[in-house]
Amino acid sequence: MSATTRTFTVRHVQLARALFAAAAALMITFSPDHSAAVGLSVFSGFALTTALVLVLSAWLVLPAGRRWPAVVLAIVDVAAGMASGVPAWRTEDLFFVVVCAWALIGGAVELIAGLRARRTADRTARDAITVGGLGLLLGVVLLLIPAGFSQPYAIEGAGEFVLTGIVLGVGMLGGYCAIVAVFLGIAGLTPRSAETAAGAAQTEDGAVGAAHGGER
């Protein structure tokens, strides 16, 4: 099967990840409740669906020798998604521990993979570097939010409110998902140059060849 007849390519991986990130961003943005329960519920679905996309990319798109980042990221996503998927565990402390660890580990893995792939003509190396950097930034920002942070404020005509650490944390997660959705969406929809398309075709053909070789 040639690269032109494949039904799941790098472009589809980027668009699928963008879609799930956008869904998470919208759910957080339009939810009036930014509690740990809501934040972890949205994060759990986002992490598990992203893990599925990464598993499919390792199986159907990436050639042997270049599958390790997707596999490792999928494992991290599944672990974080499962831990945050238990309703009884959805506390503020768990939110910061799980999401921060997920962001730092996943961001580091994706950044390293992107830096290593930068030597090739693969345009996705730049995408991995950017998304990995955004993950690390999210992890650092969550680490900087003080434990027990609470700041009362008032809006004229609306009343008095309290800005808490968990509200900030869930908001930061929503912002991260929105930026990733826009970036990967643009990357997936951007026409590729001939050189980049040729490199992607070689990558995908290598994946097909490796799969056929394993069937012999």
Determine, yes or no, domain membership for 126.
yes
Determine, yes or no, domain membership for 209.
no
Spell out the SS3 assignment of the chain.
Answer: CCHHHCCCCHHHHHHHHHHHHHHHHHHHHCCCCCCHHHHHHHHHHHHHHHHHHHHHHHHHCCCCCCCHHHHHHHHHHHHHHHHCCCHHHCCHHHHHHHHHHHHHHHHHHHHHHHHHHCCCCCCHHHHHHHHHHHHHHHHHHHHHCCCCCEEEEEECCCEEEEEEHHHHHHHHHHHHHHHHHHHHHHHHHCCCCHHHHHHHHHHHHHHHHHHHHHHC
Taking each helix axis as running N to C, give the angle between helix 36-60 and helix 165-189, from 0 to 180 degrees, rounded to the nearest 10: 30
Determine, yes or no, domain membership for 208.
no
Residue 199 has pLDDT above 80, yes or no: no
Residue 209 has pLDDT above 50, yes or no: no
What pLDDT, in 10s, does the model give residues 76-119?
999 999 999 999 999 999 999 999 999 999 999 999 999 988 87
Determine, yes or no, domain membership for 213.
no
Determine, yes or no, domain membership for 124.
yes
What pLDDT, in 10s, does the model give residues 131-145?
999 999 999 999 999
> pTM of this prediction?
0.83
Looking at the chain, the whole-number percentage of residues with pLDDT higher than 90 is: 62
pLDDT of residue 53: 96
Q: How far is CA 169 from the centre of its chain?
A: 16
- 211 pLDDT tier (thresholds 50, 70, 90): very low
- 10 pLDDT tier (thresholds 50, 70, 90): confident
What pLDDT, in 10s, does the model give residues 19-49?
999 999 999 999 999 999 999 999 999 999 9
Determine, yes or no, domain membership for 206.
no
pLDDT of residue 151: 84
Residue 190's domain spans which residues?
A: 8-198
Determine, yes or no, domain membership for 204.
no
Identify which of 41-55, 137-151, 161-175 has the greatest average pLDDT. 41-55
Structural domain count of the chain: 1
